Amino acid sequence: MGAKLFGFVLFCLCVSASTSNTIEDGFQLTTRALTEYLNTGVRPGYFSYALSQCPLPNIFSGHTDVKAALEDSQVCYLCSQIVDLFISKRRQGMTDVEMAKEASDICVTLKIENEKVCDGVINANLGIVTYIIDNNPDLNSTSVCGLALTSYNCDSGNTYEWTVEVPSGNTVEKVKANGTNTFNILHISDIHYDPLYTPGKSSQCGEPLCCQADQDDGSEEGTSCGYWGEYVSGDTPIHTVEEAFKQMATHEFDFVYYTGDTIRHRVWSTSTENNTKEIITITDLFKKYFKVPVFTALGNHEPHPVNTWSSEGVDDPSVSTQWLFNLIAEEWGEWLPEEAKATLLKGGFYTVSPKKSLRIVVLNNNVCYNENWWLINDSKDPYGQLAWLVEVLLEAEKMKENVHLLMHMPTGTGSCLASWSREYRRIISRFANTVTGHFTGHSHKDEMWVFYDSTDSSKPVSVNWNGASLNSDKANPSYKLYQVDGETYDVLDFEEWTFNLTQANLDPTKDVEWYKLYSFKEAYGVDSLEPSAVDDLLVKMTKDHSLIQKYYNFKFRNSDYAVKEGCDESCEKTLLCNMVSTMNGDTTRCEELKQLYDGNQ
C-alpha cells in the first residue's frame, strides 16, 4: 500500500464525524467549497473551515471507513471535483511548487497525515503527476477517478478496456506427476527491509511506518517496538532478515523464488539512491547465504515513488523507472542468461530455464496496480508484457516444457486493473496444461487462489500459492518450502516455517525458535495439490468450517495478533471468496461457494 498525492486529495470527504447528520453536513460543506473554488479559481473564505470539518486521520492506514459513511457515487463526485480542480489549475499555469503547496495544505487540513508525511509523499509524486497532466491534453477526472477509485465503481469511460491476442488450440496433455524424483524450492516474499528500524521506539507513532530512528521512544506499557519486529506499523530490521536467511539455509533446495517488496513502507521518504542501496544490500545477502540461484520478481515498493512504472518511451530521468531496470539487470545478472537482459531492461520481466523442461517466467505485474499513475497515461498491456507471455508460453508448449509463473501481485484483488487480470486469466486458462506452478506475494499472508477457466467457472485450471512474508505485518515472519516433481514440476506439497514473534521479542538474547507450522497435504488431509483437488478442498471447507479456521490461523502463521482477532462467520465467507477471486470484478465462484456455505449450516 502506498499513500499518494492523488490518493490524498481524492479522499476529501467527511466521514469521521460522529453522527450521520454531521457527516452529511461536512460532506455538503466540503463539496460546496470545492465547487466554488473550481468555478471561480479563488478559494472561498470558508474553504479551510469546510475541510477542517472533515478530518480523515490516517485514512491510508485504514483508520477511516469511507465505505461505511458515504455512497460510492458521492465519493466519485468528490474525486472528480478535486481532480478537475488540480487539472484546471495546472492548465492555467500553476507551477510545481504551487501545486505541491495546494496539495499539502489540503492533506494537512484534512488531517490525513502530518506535514512531514504529506510533504514527503506529495513531493515524491509531483513530478509524475504534472508530467502526465502536461503530456495528455485531453486528460480529465474520468480516467483518474476511474482508476484510483476502482473499488468505488467510478465510471472510467472505457479508458481501461483492451485485450491481448490469445491463439486457441492447446496441443499438450497434462501428465500426472508420479513423484519419483523430487526437489525443493524455497519461497520468500515481502522482506520490506528497514535500515531505520530501531527497537524501543514507539509502535504507535501516528505515521504510516513506526519504529523509526527519527521518531519518539515507546513507553514500557507495550508500545515499544520489539527487537525482531512488530505486528503493526513496523517493517523488518536487518538482523531479522539475516536470522531468517540463516534459518532458511539449513534446508536443502535447488533454487529460491523471491516474489518481491524489498523496500520498506516509509513511502514518504524513498529515493532512487536509497532504494538502490537497499536492493543491493538484500541481493548481497541472498548471494552470501544461498549458494543457489535466486529468481526474483519486482515488488510494487521497489520504484521511487512507490507503485509507479513509467510508460514505455518516457525518457525524462526525473520520472522514468529505467534506473530500476538497469539496476536489477546488473544485480540479478549472475543468476540469469544473457538473453534475460533485454526484457529486464525493458520492463523488469524475464524467462529462464534452470532445469530440463522447466521454464520459469517472472513478470513485473505491479504495472497493473491501480496506484500506478502511469496507467492514466497508457494502460494497454504495459511493456507488451502479456503479449510476450503468450509467445513464451506458445514456445514452451511446443517444446513440451512445464512453466512456473512468478510475480508480485495476486490478480484478483480490486487493486489490479480489471483488463489486466481478465486477460491474464484468459492466458492461464489457455495454457492450463503447460503452467504447473504459480507463485505470488504482496498480501503478506499465507494464501492461495484457485483459477477457474475464463469461460467455465466449474473448471479449476491453476492454483496460485502466495509466499506470505518475512515481514511481520499482523503475522509471524515466515517462508515456504515446496516439494516439486522433478519431471512434471507440479507442486506436490509444501511446508510453512515460522516463529512466535511475541515469544522471540520477550528475550532477544535467546535463539529464535523456528518451527514447521504445517505441511499442506497433512494439514488439510488431501492427496494432491492439483487444481481439482484444491477445489474439492474448498467445497469441503463450506461444510467443515474447522478447515477454514485452520486456513485463518495459517494465513497469519498463528500470530498472537490474529489469534486475538479471531474469525467469525462473515470472516470465514470472505476467506472462501478470496480464494476463488482471481479476476477483478468476477464473483461467480465466490457466490457459488457462499451458497454452499449457507446451505450447509
Q: Kindly tell me which of 190 and 401 has the beta carbon lying closer to Zn ion.
A: 190
Three cell numbers, residue 597:
456455505
Q: Using CB under 6 A, which residues numbered 245 to 304 contact ligand NAG?
A: 269, 271, 274
Binding of Zn ion at residue 413 (CB under 5 A)? Answer: no
Nearest approach in angstroms of CB 313 to ligand NAG is 6
**Segment interacting with ligand NAG, rule: CB under 6 A, options 66-74, 137-145, 341-349, 440-448:** 137-145
**Segment interacting with ligand NAG, rule: CB under 6 A, options 2-10, 175-183, 223-231, 428-436:** 175-183
Nearest approach in angstroms of CB 377 to ligand NAG is 4
320 binding partner (options Zn ion, ligand NAG, none; Cβ < 5 to 8 Å by kind)? none
Among the listed residues 30, 130, 143, 584, the single contact to ligand NAG using CB under 6 A:
143
Distances (CA, A) of 157 to 411, 415, 469: 22, 18, 37
Q: Give me the residues paired with residue 440 across strands.
A: 466
190 binding partner (options Zn ion, ligand NAG, none; Cβ < 5 to 8 Å by kind)? Zn ion
Q: Kindly tell me which of 135 and 532 has the beta carbon lying closer to ligand NAG.
A: 135
Nearest approach in angstroms of CB 269 to Zn ion is 17
**Segment interacting with ligand NAG, rule: CB under 6 A, options 435-443, 446-454, 512-520, 555-563:** 555-563
Q: Give me the residues paired with residue 201 across strands.
A: 217
Q: Kindly tell me which of 417 and 450 has the beta carbon lying closer to ligand NAG.
A: 417
The continuous run of DSSP H or E covering 365 comes out as none
Residues 6+ apart with CB under 8 A from 556: 445, 446, 474, 475, 476, 562, 563
Q: In sequence order, what DSSP letters do the residues of 450-469 get, joined into one string?
A: EEEETTEEEEEEEEEEE---
Q: In sequence order, what DSSP letters do the residues of 206-229 get, joined into one string?
A: SSSS-SBTTSPBP-TTT-BPPSS-
Strands 350-355 and 358-362: antiparallel
Q: Using CB under 5 A, which residues numbered 415 to 444 contact Zn ion?
A: 442
Binding of ligand NAG at residue 142 (CB under 6 A)? Answer: yes
Binding of ligand NAG at residue 475 (CB under 6 A)? Answer: no
Binding of ligand NAG at residue 560 (CB under 6 A)? Answer: yes
Task: Return the percent helix, strand and coil in the chain, to nearest 5.
Answer: 45, 15, 40
d(CA 465, CA 473) in angstroms, rounded, equals 18
314 binding partner (options Zn ion, ligand NAG, none; Cβ < 5 to 8 Å by kind)? ligand NAG
d(CA 110, CA 59) in angstroms, rounded, equals 10
Q: Kindly tell me which of 291 and 564 has the beta carbon lying closer to ligand NAG.
A: 564
Among the listed residues 52, 74, 88, 140, the single contact to ligand NAG using CB under 6 A:
140
The dihedral sign for the CA sequence 95, 99, 100, 101: positive
Among the listed residues 236, 275, 300, 462, the single contact to Zn ion using CB under 5 A:
300
Would you call the peptide bond into 195 cis, given omega within 30 degrees of 0 as the criterion? no
Q: Give the end-to-end CA distance of the chain in Å, rounded to a whole number.
A: 36
440 binding partner (options Zn ion, ligand NAG, none; Cβ < 5 to 8 Å by kind)? none
Of the candidates 395, 378, 391, 376, the one whose C-alpha atom is nearest the C-alpha of residue 427 is: 391
204 binding partner (options Zn ion, ligand NAG, none; Cβ < 5 to 8 Å by kind)? none
Among the listed residues 91, 563, 595, 600, the single contact to ligand NAG using CB under 6 A:
563
Q: Give me the residues paired with residue 355 across strands.
A: 358
The dihedral sign for the CA sequence 250, 251, 252, 257: negative
Binding of Zn ion at residue 372 (CB under 5 A)? Answer: no
Binding of ligand NAG at residue 502 (CB under 6 A)? Answer: yes
Q: Give me the residues paired with residue 462 across strands.
A: 451
Nearest approach in angstroms of CB 368 to ligand NAG is 16
Strands 350-355 and 448-453: unpaired
Among the listed residues 113, 119, 190, 535, the single contact to Zn ion using CB under 5 A:
190
Q: Using CB under 6 A, which residues numbered 370 to 389 contact ligand NAG?
A: 377-378
Binding of ligand NAG at residue 39 (CB under 6 A)? Answer: no
Nearest approach in angstroms of CB 461 to ligand NAG is 20
Would you call the peptide bond into 237 cis, given omega within 30 degrees of 0 as the criterion? no
Q: Kindly tell me which of 130 and 372 has the beta carbon lying closer to Zn ion.
A: 372
The continuous run of DSSP H or E covering 491 comes out as strand 491-498
Q: In sequence order, what DSSP letters do the residues of 523-553 get, joined into one string?
A: HHT-S--SHHHHHHHHHHHHH-HHHHHHHHH
Q: What are the backbone angles phi and psi of residue 588, rounded to the nearest 5°?
A: -55, -60
Nearest approach in angstroms of CB 327 to ligand NAG is 16
Distances (CA, A) of 16 to 6, 64, 207: 20, 7, 18
DSSP annotation of 487: T
Binding of ligand NAG at residue 457 (CB under 6 A)? Answer: no
Nearest approach in angstroms of CB 277 to ligand NAG is 7
Binding of ligand NAG at residue 353 (CB under 6 A)? Answer: no
Reported residue count of the chain is 601
Nearest approach in angstroms of CB 136 to ligand NAG is 5
**Segment interacting with Zn ion, rule: CB under 5 A, options 215-223, 228-236, 258-266, 357-365:** 258-266
Residues 6+ apart with CB under 8 A from 284: none
- List residues binding Zn ion (CB under 5 A): 190, 261, 299-300, 442
Point out which residues bind ligand NAG (CB under 6 A): 135-136, 140, 142-143, 157, 159, 175, 178, 180, 269, 271, 274, 311, 313-314, 377-378, 487, 500, 502-503, 506, 558, 560, 563
